[in-house]
Amino acid sequence: MDDYRNSRENTFLRKNPSRKTCESIIRRILMTEIEQQGKNQHFKHAVDFMSYFESLYPTSDSLTKQVQRAIKAMNMPKDENGYFIINKSMEQMEQDSSLKEAFSMSHVKIHSLSEYTPIFLEADSELCPYLKKLITESETFRDKFLTIMETSNGLIIYTKQPEELKTICESFCDFPGEALK
């Protein structure tokens, strides 16, 4: 009975894995690599996975081809150094590339709004775009705010100088005391 079981286990271990099984193993290998190293720094080609598969299955051309089929079926993108990226699709990589290019062209800088105070200017909604344009182009308001956004009934201005900005805004209001409470 033991000989039958051993022979059956050996037969099972000698069979090449299915493409799906190969994909699953490759995913686990890459996820482990990312968890341990932070990113994939070892796997560029199907041959890079072969030592793992050969430790589980006997070496053969058909095993190599099965691993190659699995890699191809997974359609994994590669980073700028040619390493497989497991946690993003080709579409995500293209989107990320477009975003990176747009960020660079736009000279994006990141600001934490926790350092800024929002000031709300209540105004007629139909005049908000015009008001926003005037404030944005104004020498008086230059360097007084980070950003200005239109809302359904006014403008929100983020600033590090809330008191100074309030004073400037009040100077343009018909009723200064009523402007910003």
Tell me which residue has tokens 């691993």.
Answer: 67
Specify the pTM: 0.54
Tell me which residue has tokens 């598969």.
Answer: 53
pLDDT in tens, 57-114: 998 999 999 999 999 999 999 988 999 998 888 899 899 889 999 999 999 999 899 9
* Burial of residue 135, with CB atoms counted within 10 A of its CB: 0-12 exposed, 13-18 middle, 19 or more buried: buried
**Side by side, which strands form the sheet with 154-159?**
117-122, 154-159, 147-151
Enumerate the H helices of the chain as residue ranges: 2-14, 19-37, 50-56, 61-74, 90-106, 128-137, 162-171, 176-179
Tell me which residue has tokens 């020498």.
Answer: 139
Mean of all residue pLDDT scores within the chain = 88
* pLDDT class of 4 with cuts at 50, 70, 90: very low
How far CA 170 is from CA of 72, 88, 167, in Å, comes to 65, 51, 5
Separation between Cα atoms, residue 48 and residue 84, nearest integer Å: 11
